[in-house]
Structure 1
């Protein structure tokens, strides 16, 4: 078979979601590793007074494309920004642009979606289901289309504990739901949403399951492949380790933990943390499109892009490596020293929320008011708690994903493609990856320079001394208020101290006898 770069040579690619996290990484990798691709049409809408061309240029000027700029300075010539609105009828394409796309496109990568867990159902259906259907209808008109590559999520069927690489029946007929939403008002939609999504945790996952069914049914005559990533995190290797540019998913929690704001999270230490690096997802998408384009499989190909089944890693381990990294490489102006407790106990969780989150935030806001500044910590804690509510479903449960198609795809790659488009997560060293991830949030999300580490470490030591001083004062106050005034409390205190003394004396005597 031809190699992956050879397959993309001379091809015209249509990409949605190019301004999003996954889409921009895919665009960079495609242009860098398949330099002979003919052109990439990116569907982009106008936003905040920016034209599609300006939005694309803003993406291309980012740190992510530094390596590509060095290796291929003329890469911009291959990118064609097309004004489009996926939520509008016929994608709001002009007749001229539509004609060009229909005549030229060979491969489609559909990465666009709303990834907000709290998106209202109407908008989630519009963005994740109707837009996908409209893109499928456009694809059916394309004269030279070879592959329709759809990016879904591994949690689309999270109501199952074992998930195979197949498209399961949808929770509801997408067409009937779309028709119903047309006459419902927003209040009614919000009222029926919990009943509709049922045992799925949010509208994002619910609508991604519907989108898969739309792709399968409406795209029955197309050559379709679906990649299902789990929790997409920072890059593993490409274009450089630890690249990340947003607070979504675990990134926001890592930063909050590094700042000392996040102190407890509702999670199971033994639950699988199915993180998958963004470059693995991109490599698998490019490889999956190559395989379907070259082999023309008779059935739709689905790939569970996960790590839990082949290289398991648990949330307790995530917590350990995140805290260890941020203690060695602290974030600037941390609120407290990094320290996070994981608990699955409901009462204990709310106790720690009150003691470790709300009380310190309240006291800090009082301090800010007293010093003439605007209070902000309680607002930060409130936003953090909302994010934690959405994520605790994934930090408290585990799933088993079948990865037979992924293994097959890996075996089909020639030795050079296995290196260039690495999808073998068995090689992933988790401790190293989490360290690079945390450093990536520091460098690329918070824009903190590594040269500032000595000052950050000094600040962390200062916080440690403040904590020791506070604990000492607290013990003295407890002694003065409770123990010193109560004979019973003093008796208990002396009893505990004498026990400790006897234990130490016994231990010292035993050590001397052995010597």
Structure 2
């Protein structure tokens, strides 16, 4: 019997960010392992043309909740959507809803967060904020990491007598095992890069190949979160414990190796209608990356937009490419460094779990096979993000072969044109060319003579 699953039975639980990627996986795991829980309150921002209940049904009708409906058929009755906006005072929650939350909530999982690295701080006038932001964030790379640190300070200072724990996941990716491998529903983190590379838009990145890619599957984060919730409530630690949910310490995989595994996955599971052949080159040199951005990214985009104009369509590729390159530039701080995390609390918690809980709420990334995980990740991106049919894989492979042939023909033509111009202008180049032709002719004659003698 799982002690953790039993702990959540009969509880009223509040989840912020339940409509987001991690929040959905957390909610699914709770319902699947503790179907007898009382209720899950979720904060939902009002959306034009869609009621709160419609948004709940939209979440439950996704592939993610298929297994939940088998063990908890009345799952829709156990979700209570609360109208809220985390940007407003008191989250814009009505007095009646606030009173209900205060009266009945047993556990809170705060998962809501902005995932934009360059969001503006919102404390003062925009002009003042723009001026003082560099001084505020100091050595931190962006406002995202700065506000995360501020949030943790506020939690620790204002916690009072509430039992609190903090979980710090690294780069969150698709699910590893639960409820099935490769589930993902957003473009954040590696997912957007996988699409950009698989479609042939992104072919070179400024990154350190040997730096550790500290990727962590979403279900691993959720399993640790639920185990931490149980331990914090039952054992009541005297201080706020911080748990690092990372892979680098236990099962490191560097960016270079991961890129090779992604490219290998594209060979088996290509994306449809690729713009160019998938490729992934890394460089740490600023001048080199500027060259490749011009030659391999912007130039093809400009050429394609010119083609769109000629055919009477609206150009869009250059704008898309510029946006992609801006996004990648914001990731450069993280993909050019390796990070070391203290995992003492995570290892301590693992030792506190029973064998059954270690199985049901597995967060031991030492068991993760990166090659298998990456292949499932690419498959998940294709199925759940791009909505591409697996039956279209043979056609997608044929398309990549055509792109490969076009690539070779283009490079050959470019070489011949450059060589012809060089020959026309340089006597040395002409002499080299005549020497090569003469040598090849003599070599061919030798082989023909040898074969005649043997006969």
Are 1:66 and 2:6 an aligned pair? no
Q: What residue in structure 1 maps to residue 114 of structure 2?
A: 114
Q: How far off is 1:502 after superposition?
A: 12
Q: Where does residue 42 of structure 1 map in the other structure?
A: 42
Pair 1:494–1:407, CA change in 2 (3 A): farther
Q: Which residue of 2 aligns with 1:462?
A: 402
Could you list the per-position Cα deviations for residues 358-400 of structure 1 after superposition, in whole angstroms to 9, with x for gaps in the alignment? 1111111111111222211111101111110111111101110
Partner of 2:188: 248
Kept after mapping to 2: 8 A contact 1:223/1:300: yes
| Aligned-partner Cα distance in 2 for 1:404–1:498 | 71
What's the CA shift for 1:52?
2.4
Contact 2:15 2:43 in 1 (8 A): yes
In structure 2, the partner of 1:509 is none
* Alignment correspondent of 2:26: 26
71-80 or 456-465, larger mean C-alpha shift = 71-80
Which residue of the partner structure matches residue 320 of structure 2? 380
Matched, 1:54 2:46: no
The one of 418, 439, 442 equivalent to 2:382 is: 442
**How far is the alpha carbon of 1:199 from its aligned partner?**
1.1
Q: Distance between the aligned counterparts of 1:74 and 1:329, measured in 2? A: 37
> In the alignment, what sits opposite 1:407?
347
Give 1:95-106 correspondences, 5 Å limit.
Answer: 95-106=95-106
Q: Which residue of 2 aligns with 1:396?
A: 336
Q: What corresponds to 1:433 in structure 2? A: 373
Q: What SS does the aligned partner of 1:400 have?
A: coil
1:315-337 Cα shifts (integer Å, max 9, x gaps): 10111111111122110000111
Displacement of 1:296: 0.9
**2:236 is equivalent to residue 280 of structure 1:** no
1:242 touches 1:436 (CA, 8 Å); kept in 2? yes
Shift of 1:310: 0.8
Q: CA RMSD in A?
A: 2.0
Tell me how far apart the structure 1 counterparts of residues 232 and 327 of structure 2 sit (CA, whole Å).
37
CA distance change for structure 1 residues 486 and 405 in 2, over 3 Å: closer, same or farther?
same
Q: Is the 1:5–1:36 Cα contact (8 Å) retained in structure 2?
A: no
* Cα shift readout 1:269-297 (whole Å, capped 9, x = no counterpart): 01110000000001110000001111111
Number of residues of Structure 1 aligned to a counterpart in Structure 2: 444
2:453 corresponds in structure 1 to none
Structure 1 regions of 5+ residues with no counterpart?
A: 123-180, 504-515
CA distance 1:73–1:496, shift in 2 (3 Å):
farther
Query: Secondary structure, in 3 states, of the residue corresponding to 1:304?
Result: strand
CA change 1:485–1:298 in 2 (3 A) is same
Deviation for aligned residue 1:485: 4.1
Q: Which runs of 4+ in 1 moved over 6 A?
A: 495-503
- Aligned equivalents of 2:10 and 2:154: distance in 1? 30
1:440-492 CA distance string (max 9 Å, x none): 11110000011100110011111111112112211221222212442112234
For the residue of structure 1 that corresponds to 2:391, the secondary structure is helix
In the superposition, the TM-score normalised over structure 1's length comes to 0.83
| 8 Å CA contact 2:199, 2:278 repeated in 1 | yes
Contact 1:271 1:396 in 2 (8 A): yes
Classify 1:241/1:84 alpha carbon distance in 2 versus 1 (closer, same or farther; 3 Å).
same
CA contact (8 A) 1:224 1:300 kept: yes
Contact 1:45 1:51 (C-alpha < 8 Å) held by counterparts: no
Kindly tell me: are residues 494 and 230 of structure 1, through their superposed partners in 2, closer, same or farther at Cα, counting changes over 3 Å? farther
Q: Which of 303, 311, 316 is equivalent to 2:251? A: 311
Aligned equivalents of 1:2, 1:248: Cα separation in 2 = 33
Counterpart Cα distance in 2 of 1:38 and 1:390: 42
SS in 2 for 1:386: helix
Distance 2:118 2:300 in 1: 28
Output aligned runs, 1:99-178, within 5 Å. Answer: 99-122=99-122
Partner of 2:87: 87
- Going from structure 1 to structure 2, the CA distance change for 1:460 and 1:2 (only over 3 Å counts) comes to closer
Contact 1:268/1:397, CA 8 A, preserved across alignment = yes
Distance 2:64 2:359 in 1: 20
Corresponding position: 1:213 with 2:153: yes
How do residues 359-378 of structure 1 correspond to structure 2 at under 5 angstroms? 359-378=299-318
Paired residue for 1:226, among 166, 175, 180? 166
Query: Residue 11 in 1 paired to residue 11 in 2?
Result: yes
Kindly tell me: are residues 298 and 470 of structure 1, through their superposed partners in 2, closer, same or farther at Cα, counting changes over 3 Å? same
Q: Secondary structure at the match of 2:250?
A: coil
1:103 CA drift (Å):
1.2
Matched-pair contact (CA < 8 Å) for 2:2–2:356: no
Cα deviation, residue 496, structure 1? 7.5
SS in 2 for 1:373: coil
Residue 498 of structure 1, CA deviation:
9.0
1:314 CA drift (Å): 0.5
1:76 lines up with 2:16 in the alignment: no
Counterpart contact for 1:226–1:301, Cα < 8 Å: yes
Distance 2:270 2:200 in 1: 10
Distance 1:347 1:491 in 2: 34
SS in structure 1 of the partner of residue 172 of structure 2: strand
**Aligned mates of 2:441, 2:251 — CA distance in 1:** 48
Instruction: After TM superposition, give the deviation of residue 83 of structure 1 in Å.
Output: 1.3
Tell me if structure 2 keeps the 8 A contact 1:234–1:242: yes
Contact map agreement 1:327 1:338 (CA 8 A) in 2? no
Q: Is the 8 A contact 1:249 1:391 kept in 2?
A: no
The equivalent residue for 1:471 is 411
Q: Distance in 1 between the 2:84 and 2:371 partners?
A: 42
Inter-CA distance 501–392: structure 2 relative to 1 (3 Å threshold): farther
Q: Is the 8 A contact 2:11 2:107 kept in 1?
A: yes
